[in-house]
Structure 1
Amino acid sequence: MFLKPYQTLLKALGPSQWWPGDTAFEVMVGAILTQNTSWRNVEKAIHRLKSLQALRPKKMHLMPHPDLAEAIRSSGYFNQKARTLHNYLDWYSSYSYSPSLLLRKKASRAEPIRKELLSIKGIGPETADSILCYALELPVFVVDAYTHRWLARYDSAAARASAGSYDLLKNMVQSDFQAHLAPDSLVQHFNEFHALIVRLGNAYCKKQNPLCPDCPLRRECENALA
């Protein structure tokens, strides 16, 4: 049931080209900084880190906590996020700050890496899966508040089946895509579907006063058809 809205959104909105970032590490940092804030605020923090030449894992790892916190102030919760970044870098350093070494040691399997990511204080399921999907390019779908909001309006039965569970909804999407799409294309499609849902939530499926008459999914969404 998820393939149809995905195809409709892709046709209507076009490719998202998400996640922005020049390196895998920049994507990792962005995934941590975007917690509980807008992407605009993250961009300011990323720009500041670049201006300090601190968007390199070894250099960031050595930054004193107050300096790192100040550099990412625009992202909000900056003290907490600075601690999370240092916690993350403690772990990442065990793989020599190398995505290729990490993937090689874990045989490019998402679950063992996800388990380690979730053991890092400050890293939750959405952040872990964002790193897996966008930075490490593994076939993992990212669920967020936009996903739950959209599904509750689009298909109430599916929303009830997911029971508000992050992992259950993630597995529902992944199973549907895996049943219909080529395995070597899943990374691209999971990436794109998540990005399209975020765009949908920002432009149409808003938390308050959704713009259902203009929504690309208006002909198939329960809420729009009601």
Structure 2
Amino acid sequence: MTTRQQLMNIYERLFDAFGPQHWWPGRTRFEIIVGAILTQNTSWTNVARAIANLQAAGRLDPDRLHGLDAAELEPLIRPAGYFRLKAKRLRNFTQWLFEAYGGSLDALEAVETRRLREELLGISGIGPETADSILLYAMDRPVFVVDTYTARVAVRHGLIEPDINYEQLQYLFESNLEPDVTLFNEYHALLVRTGKDFCKPTPRCPACPLNDLPHEVQIESA
């Protein structure tokens, strides 16, 4: 079985078991971007509360959020945790957006994906996972988002070595799958679901939809 066949087999099993995950929650492109920045090191429940605060305050668009100073922004996003740090990151993003593109998310449509990724990574506080989440979920670019859950499933199923980095793990998926936004969206969400519910540091293999596939488990420290 080729690597592509292995990856598609995993995807199909997870999709059959869990169905569509409806990622990423967000009514607007900007809301998705804000969520991608706020969700670093916290649960989505907390992010949703912070986004609700921004919405209630009428600040959930680039112009209105960009006009907030730190003292105004921090209390609104407090539920997301690390609110001072995340306020800086949000302000860094909007500053870049206004300085480089006049505050227009529509202007990003004309920017080639690789270049846009490099620009996002140049914003202080935006790392690879956040940048790729923005590209995939907000900008509909065929960029595969990977994370700890992705790595754990891939390593345990022998798809890649344990000492891989982000780019190597991303390349595993992007080089073996069609560059399809819908597929990349759903696959990442399904891997997160699998990692949270079954492929934990101490795994719950018997109930996992992938249990009858060849795999080797090394218990990780939590």
Matched, 1:188 2:182: yes
The match for 1:46 among 42, 51, 56 is 51
Tell me how large the CA RMSD over aligned residues is.
1.4
Q: Which moved more, 1:95-104 or 1:64-73?
A: 95-104
CA contact (8 A) 1:48 1:72 kept: yes
Supply the distance in 1 between the matched residues of 2:103 and 2:150 (Cα, whole angstroms): 31
Q: Which runs of 4+ in 1 moved over 2 A?
A: 96-100
Aligned-pair CA distance for 1:221? 4.2
- Identical pairs, percent: 45
In structure 2, the CA distance between the partners of 1:39 and 1:221, relative to structure 1 (3 Å rule), is farther
Distance, in Å, in 2 between the alignment partners of 1:3 and 1:90 is 40
Q: After superposition, give the CA deviation of every residue in 1:8-52 in whole Å (9 maximum; x if it has no partner).
A: 111111111100000000000000000011111111111111111
1:172 alignment partner in structure 2: 172
Distance 2:151 2:197 in 1: 16
How far, CA to CA, are the matches of 1:41 and 1:221 in structure 2? 37
The residue type equivalent to 1:168 in the other structure is Q
Kindly provide the amino acid, as one letter, of the partner of residue 205 in structure 2: C
Question: Normalized against structure 1, the TM-score is what?
Answer: 0.89
Cα distance, 1:171–1:198 mapped onto 2, change above 3 Å: same
1:90 — aligned with what? 95
Once residues 135 and 169 of structure 1 are traced to their aligned partners in structure 2, the CA distance between those partners, rounded to angstroms, is 22
- Corresponding residue for 2:147? 144
Which of 121, 129, 134 is 1:131 aligned to? 134
Report the TM-score, using the length of structure 2 for normalisation.
Answer: 0.91
CA distance in structure 2 between the partners assigned to 1:221 and 1:86 by the alignment: 46
Q: Tell me which amino acid in the other structure corresponds to 2:71.
A: P
Give distance in 2, aligned partners of 1:123 and 1:166. 14
How far apart, in 1, do the equivalents of 2:8 and 2:79 lie? 37
Q: CA deviation at 1:223?
A: 3.3
* Equivalent residues, number: 211
1:23 equivalent in structure 2: 28
Segments of 5+ residues of structure 1 without an aligned counterpart are none
Match of 2:62 in 1: 57
- Paired with 1:124 and 1:70, the residues of 2 have a C-alpha distance of 24
1-side partners of 2:214 and 2:119: how far apart? 38
Q: Counterparts of 1:81 and 1:213 in 2: how far apart (Å)?
A: 39
> Which 10-residue stretch deviates more, 1-10 or 73-82?
1-10
Instruction: State the alpha-carbon separation in 1 of the partners of residues 73 and 140 from structure 2.
Output: 27
Matched residues in 1 for 2:73 and 2:81: separation? Answer: 13
Aligned to 2:71: 66
Structure with the bigger percentage of helix:
1
